[in-house]
Amino acid sequence: MSSNHNIVSVSGGKDSTATLLVAIALEAPNLQAVFADTGNEHEQTYEYLDYLQQVTGVPIRRVKADFSRQIAGKRRFIETKWREQGIPESTVLAALEVLQPTGNPFLDLCIWKGRFPSRKAQFCTMELKRDPMLEQVVIPLLDSGNMIMSWQGVRADESINRRHLPECDEVGGGLFNYRPILKWDVPAVFEAHRYMGVKPNPLYSQGMGRVGCMPCINCRKDELREISMRFPDVIDRIDRWERVVQQASKYGAATFFAGSNAKHPSGSIKGLPAIEVMEIASIRKAVEWSKTARGGIQYDLLSAAQDASACSSAYGLCDSEWQPVNMIESAA
């Protein structure tokens, strides 16, 4: 029998948690919380989701993207097309060696693409968050004739894109968006936690400006410094991932932060030999840069003043309380 469903996308961040708390306070019927697990979350976020489920009594469904099919397709492509294109056999063999699903959605996505996402090619939000939610939760419910109210924890003061969103709109096919905290400021979000007796994700009290991927490809300089000091294992993991994705790359280079946009004093890293790219733009170099003050050689934030909305869609899929950055190495 068809019915109305209220679905809250939770990330473990404060805004989506506050949205869930509003839905609980309003006694939304058929309430379901859904978490799209990117595989690049901090352990404390997984623990927080367990806590949130237990303290609210609302089950949190976990969904995950699976790129096994795409990786198998990429293997076939490499075996034929790369060889036809004259890509060195050592590069072909290196890529084939790592083109195996690991079960970690973030890493598998990057292995499939042969690169990490970047601000200009931010495929992570859609591939890791939007699509699994749609395919595994939203579409099956709609196909069964249900109506869905999708509760989104976005706030107007987060970005220009979000400033002009309506509080409620109809997508079509029985799907509606509802943004109950659109006009809220940050203190109101934390007040909702206090009022409902729910603790915020502890990562906020550990120097993190946002909760979601750790790190996010758009993380702030100061946040990267905090991550490296408090959670060095996270940097070690990204370092390992860089080596794997580098191997899957046709160009032999893949860095977590720089994407294809990073530059250094002589221009874009795009045309540089792979070894040089890895030397100047790896996660380890980004961490070094994050610890620099003004003066001397330093990296700078290319887009600190740009619209913060580029990270996440307007649907609140990524908690985006940050200023997006790309790394540019420049002489001070």
Which residues partner with 297 through β-bridges?
A: 331
Binding of ligand SF4 by 234 (CB under 6 A):
no
Residue 15: CB minimum distance to ligand SF4, A: 13
Residue 82: CB minimum distance to ligand SF4, A: 27
Q: Which residues of 67-99 are buried (b: 16+ CB within 10 A; e: fewer)?
A: beebbeebeeebeeebeeeebeeebbebbbebb
Residue 300: CB minimum distance to ligand SF4, A: 21
Nearer residue to ligand SF4 within complex by CB, 19 or 125:
125
- Binding-site size, ligand SF4 (CB under 6 A): 15
Q: What is the 3-state secondary structure (H, E, C) of 76-104?
A: HHHHHHHHHCCCCHHHHHHHHHHCCCCCC
Nearer residue to ligand SF4 within complex by CB, 8 or 141:
8
C-alpha span between 224 and 226 (Å, rounded): 5
Binding of ligand SF4 by 165 (CB under 6 A):
no
Preceding amide of 215 cis, omega within 30: yes
Q: Residue 314: name the closest of 84, 187, 160 by CA.
A: 160
Residue 318: CB minimum distance to ligand SF4, A: 3
N residues, the chain: 332
Residues between 21 and 40 with contacts to ligand SF4, criterion CB under 6 A? 38
Nearer residue to ligand SF4 within complex by CB, 40 or 177:
40
Which residues partner with 149 through β-bridges?
A: 6, 176
- Sole binder of ligand SF4 in the list 175, 217, 224, 245 (CB under 6 A): 217
Q: Segment contacting ligand SF4 (CB under 6 A): 91-99, 215-223, 258-266, 296-304?
A: 215-223
- Sole binder of ligand SF4 in the list 218, 246, 249, 255 (CB under 6 A): 218
Output the CA torsion 103→36→135→169 (10° steps): -160
Residues between 97 and 156 with contacts to ligand SF4, criterion CB under 6 A? 117, 122, 124-125, 128-129
Residue 309: CB minimum distance to ligand SF4, A: 11
- Sole binder of ligand SF4 in the list 22, 142, 189, 216 (CB under 6 A): 216
In order of 76, 162, 167, the CA distances from 127 in angstroms are: 21, 21, 25
Residues between 301 and 320 with contacts to ligand SF4, criterion CB under 6 A? 311-312, 318
Q: Residue 322: name the closest of 169, 203, 237 by CA.
A: 203
* Binding site residues, ligand SF4, CB under 6 A: 38, 117, 122, 124-125, 128-129, 212-213, 216-218, 311-312, 318
